[in-house]
Amino acid sequence: MKPIHLIIALFLLVLPASAQKEIKNQKWGYGLTFLDEGDSMPDALHYLPAPPEFGTEEFTNDSIIYEKGKRLRLTARGDTAVMDANTSIAYYLKRFSPAVGKELTEKNCPVLTKTLKGLMQDVRGGIQHAKNTFARHRPYQHFKEATPIPEDEGPTDYTSYPSGHTVRAWAAAMLLTAIYPEHGTEIMRVGYELGASRTIVGFHYQSDTDAARLCASAGFARLCAKESFLKALENCKKEARKL
């Protein structure tokens, strides 16, 4: 084998995608997973408490935060909250770039891009059973009020708890903090803001986002037991040093 061909072959072997499996036909998915056949993520249905019921103190707190969020919709923070509904990898890289202090793009961070796809696919999968079973009405459905993102509204999309956007955002923040620990505070702040945006636009309650952050942490810990994920993380760190 010629030297250049050997180099290319070795490079392909260390790419995270080589350790990730393809997934198709997932409407909320990213097409990649770190899980092997027979693996599973912690099932949020079996470790989360049920969402707060109407009339409880916890639901009252959710309602108060919902009203506070509505008052932010006509501010710059409200504009950001609308943009934060975007869960594409390209948007996440752009959103976290200021916190990292570097421009992150799919082009200059191909390893990070593939790792994020697998991570966000897997942590999101760990909450689907809970979302479907608890079938919690979203704030805009319960209060019968419009949101600033009407195209995302669904009359029977009763999957508020836990928040899918937040579980992805928090997991992404955890990954980036592992890669850029010196910027951990700034990164985790953005991760928190992405979840808070969901309460501002009326698609989730505070308890939905709180639960999702717990689920993201559980999912991230599960993937840390996968050799493929740990190798991907190391490759992300190598890539980051070259930026």
pLDDT tens profile 155-199 = 999 999 999 999 999 999 999 999 999 999 999 999 999 999 999
| Per-residue pLDDT reduced to its tens digit, 72-114 | 999 999 999 999 999 999 999 999 999 999 999 999 999 999 9
Cα(228)–Cα(200) distance, rounded to whole angstroms?
37
For residues 7 and 208, the model is more confident at 208
Of 168, 198, 213, 222, which is the active-site residue? 198
Cα(115)–Cα(179) distance, rounded to whole angstroms?
12
Burial 66-97 (b: 16+ CB within 10 A, else e): beebbebbeeeebebbbebbebebeebbbbbe
Instruction: Look at residue 111 and give its three-state secondary structure.
Output: helix
Cα(90)–Cα(77) distance, rounded to whole angstroms?
21
Banded model confidence at residue 13, pLDDT cuts 50, 70, 90? very low
pLDDT at 103: 98
Establish whether 165 is a catalytic residue: yes
Residue 151: how many CA atoms within 13 Å on its side-chain side? 4
Of 122, 168, 208, 213, which is the active-site residue? 208
Establish whether 39 is a catalytic residue: no
pLDDT greater than 80 at residue 8: no
Establish whether 142 is a catalytic residue: no
pLDDT greater than 60 at residue 24: no
Positive or negative, the CA dihedral 112, 44, 209, 186 is negative
| Per-residue pLDDT reduced to its tens digit, 133-163 | 999 999 999 999 999 999 999 999 999 999 9
Cα(85)–Cα(185) distance, rounded to whole angstroms?
22
pLDDT greater than 60 at residue 18: no
Distances (CA, A) of 220 to 3, 87, 122, 152, 165: 38, 18, 9, 27, 15
Of 124, 136, 168, 204, which is the active-site residue? 204
pLDDT greater than 90 at residue 49: yes
Q: Which residues contact 149 (CB under 8 A, 6 or more apart)?
A: 82, 85, 201, 203
Domain that holds residue 122: 3-242
**59 touches 146 (CB < 8 A):** no
Of 165, 183, 213, 222, which is the active-site residue? 165
What CATH number has the domain bearing residue 226?
1.20.144.10
How far is residue 23 CA from its own chain's centroid? Answer: 17
For the chain, list the strands marked E by DSSP: 21-22, 32-33
For residue 150 the two structure tokens come to 């009407």
Establish whether 198 is a catalytic residue: yes
Burial grade of 113 (CB within 10 A; 0-12, 13-18, 19 or more): buried
**240 touches 180 (CB < 8 A):** yes
Total domains present in the chain:
1
